[in-house]
Amino acid sequence: MMIRKASIDMKEFQKKTGFAAVLIAAIALTGCDKGGESAASGGENAGETISEAVDSAAESVESAAGAVADKAEETVASVKEAAESATAPSSSRTESGSDKGKFPPLPASLPTKADLDKVKTDVSKAAKDMVDEVKKQLEVVHVQAKEAAELLIDNPDVVVLDLRTPAETSKGMIPSAINLDFRNPEFAENLKKLSTDKKYLIHCQSGGRSTSALSTFKALGFDTVYHLDGGYSGWEKAGLDTTTPNK
């Protein structure tokens, strides 16, 4: 599974959850970015690499949120202790009364443990939501020819998109495939006409053009794309059924 990087409005996120949340979100996104970089060079193991990176980032989110809240609790306790010491008059001051009222009362605005627990929960949830948002974006599953054939049998709602030229498809196609020529200047416009919620199996002749097309699928907001590694050539080599379009 390959996942694109999220575009996050950090200013808006900070308004909602505070500076601590931004730090935690950075931890999460760093994990996802590393997964993305590994995926770019990982070939068939890309999906596993990114999945592990996102899971690791989610764990970092919870750990960091807890650390932030715990540190805040320690700080508040220290402030309260210092404030209480300052407001407690010495015996000499009590006797003379000369210093009475000179020390300010304990600030009423210091957060309670309940407040800090709520911050911890809110920060953790907000950062995890960001990770979930990354995971929701275009999912690309790489499959070999026989896996693709099984996929189409088990999931008849999957739409097959053949990204080759009409000249190529005239020699043979995967049954039920729809031709959407990647080299056509109107490729993106034609792709916009398709539902982004459906699942698609895409392929070209050997895998080059279909890989290049993934960025367009991502930009248009498609949810799930199965990529036929090896393309139509791999499908033929596997001895799977093909059909010739009606002329």
Q: Which residues are catalytic?
A: 204
Measure the CA–CA gap between 200 and 198, rounded to whole angstroms: 7
CA distance linking residue 238 with residue 146, whole number of Å: 7
**Do 61 and 67 form a contact (C-beta atoms < 8 A)?**
no
**Cβ(206)–Cβ(182) below 8 Å:** no
3-state secondary structure of 128: helix
Closest CA to 58 of 128, 1, 120: 128
CA pair distance 108, 106, nearest whole angstrom: 6
